[in-house]
Amino acid sequence: MIKSGNMNATPNPNQSFFSIAAWYSLVASLVAAALLGISWKIEIPDRNSYSLADVTEGAACLAAITSALASIVSLFGVRRHGWRVIVWKSLVGFVLSYFVFGELFNMGMRALAQVSRQ
């Protein structure tokens, strides 16, 4: 019989809150970037009405906010768990969240400029 790795589906009880927060920061920022990309591809027939693009942009904003907060919280565990475990995930999550926030801000400013021209 061939054994191939650990196929146990139970979570690791030794994984700390800070490590989980760092992973969440990384994954949530990637989800926020994906949602932002989806909102770019959605055609908006009438910007004055509520659309699917608004929902995806709102979800991207929520994911980016929680990612940034989780990355900051995870940094409190660096002393206990070491920088190799936490910092790279936290840093990537925070930077990607920053770029998502920046693009959402630009989209909002363009929308305001378009409304003010009408």
pLDDT tens digits, one per residue of 47-88? 555 677 778 888 999 999 999 999 999 999 888 888 887 888
* pLDDT over threshold 60, residue 103: yes
pLDDT tens digits, one per residue of 44-57? 655 555 677 778 88
CA distances from 71 to 50, 53, 85, 92, 110 (A): 32, 27, 13, 9, 29
Query: Per-domain residue ranges for the chain?
Result: 17-40+51-117
Instruction: Give the span between the Cα atoms of 25 and 68, in whole angstroms.
Output: 7
pLDDT at 93: 92
What is the pTM (predicted TM-score) of this model? Answer: 0.75
